[in-house]
Amino acid sequence: MMGLDTPRVRAVVRKELRDYRRKRSIVATMIILPLVFLIEPVVTIFLAPSAEAGSSLNTYVVIPLLYLLLLPVIIPSTLAAYTVVGEREQGTLEPLLTTPIRQQEFIVGKAAAVMIPSALLSYVVIGIFLIAVELFARARISSAIFHQGPILLALFLFTPLLAGWAIVVGMAISVRASEVRVAQQLGMLASLPIIGVVFLLAVGVIHPTFPAALLFALGILMLDTVALRIVSRMFNRERLVTGVKAAGT
């Protein structure tokens, strides 16, 4: 992969963020969706019986935390699915492809533009949740949550990595999709593997430990990197413009 031209990548990011900010549906979705996701963990935590102990208490604590891991996957999926097919639908893709921008720069710029608000929002929601727990939850519950070190570490580490995964999958679908709506629906598939992992953690098949959290983070990072390269290769100008892949490319 050739070196990236940073000003071009920065230009893509700046333009995307401007565009998001001015599209009310995007702003609304990005604000409402995390708040909806906050309801379930908050209700679970605040309705947890005070007398629970041991493994029962863990269930009340661990599952809401794991639930928050879905945030960085869900938030960017809509935006990521829009990245390429959206440009094509609004007729801006062809002028863009006629510029000297390289496909890696385009992909990285688009991915970064989705990543920044998604990761920030996820961290903000997680932060709000933890502050609310600290301030308003029963002391026993609050204490139990802040003693889930591996899961808290996972929340911190996994947020950008899982967002990256969702973005790359969403973009891969966006490169191939013919319509924004189809891309957005298929983009939700990106969350399936994550839901699977959360389920395995919840039922105790995978035990949340610090080494496991670090190992998983490393694994997701590698997965993201490989997936990003694959998406870059999928980005074929001829196919994007004509719908037909160039022979021999």
36/247 with CB nearer another protein: 247
Stretch touching another protein by CB under 8 A, among 32-40, 68-76, 96-104, 122-130: 96-104
Residue 173: Cβ within 10 Å count: 25
In angstroms, the CA 195 to CA 73 distance is: 10
Stretch touching another protein by CB under 8 A, among 32-40, 97-105, 185-193, 205-213: 97-105
Q: Please return the burial class of 219, using the count of CB atoms within 10 Å of its CB with bins 0-12, 13-18 and 19+.
A: exposed
Residue 51: Cβ within 10 Å count: 8
92 counts as binding another protein under rule CB under 8 A: yes
Stretch touching another protein by CB under 8 A, among 4-12, 65-73, 199-207, 220-228: 4-12
Stretch touching another protein by CB under 8 A, among 28-36, 85-93, 110-118, 218-226: 85-93
H helices of 90-102, in order, are: 93-97
Among residue numbers 53 through 72, which ones bind another protein (CB under 8 A)? none
Residues whose CB falls within 8 Å of the CB of residue 34, separated by 6 or more in sequence, listed in order: 71, 75, 121, 122, 124, 125
Shortest distance in whole angstroms from residue 231 CB to another protein = 19
Contact indicator for 43, 143 with CB cutoff of 8 Å: no
246 counts as binding another protein under rule CB under 8 A: yes
11 counts as binding another protein under rule CB under 8 A: yes
11/206 with CB nearer another protein: 11
In angstroms, the CA 103 to CA 89 distance is: 19
- Per the listing, tokens 């889930």 go with 148
Q: Which of 56, 98, 178, 209 binds another protein (CB under 8 A)?
A: 98
Contact indicator for 9, 108 with CB cutoff of 8 Å: yes
97/120 with CB nearer another protein: 97
140/239 with CB nearer another protein: 239
In angstroms, the CA 109 to CA 105 distance is: 6
Strand ranges for the chain from DSSP E? none
221 counts as binding another protein under rule CB under 8 A: no
78/142 with CB nearer another protein: 78
147 counts as binding another protein under rule CB under 8 A: no
The terminus-to-terminus CA distance of the chain in angstroms comes to 16
Shortest distance in whole angstroms from residue 195 CB to another protein = 34
Residues that bind another protein (CB under 8 A): 5, 7-8, 10-11, 14-15, 18-19, 22-23, 90-102, 237-238, 241-242, 244, 246-249
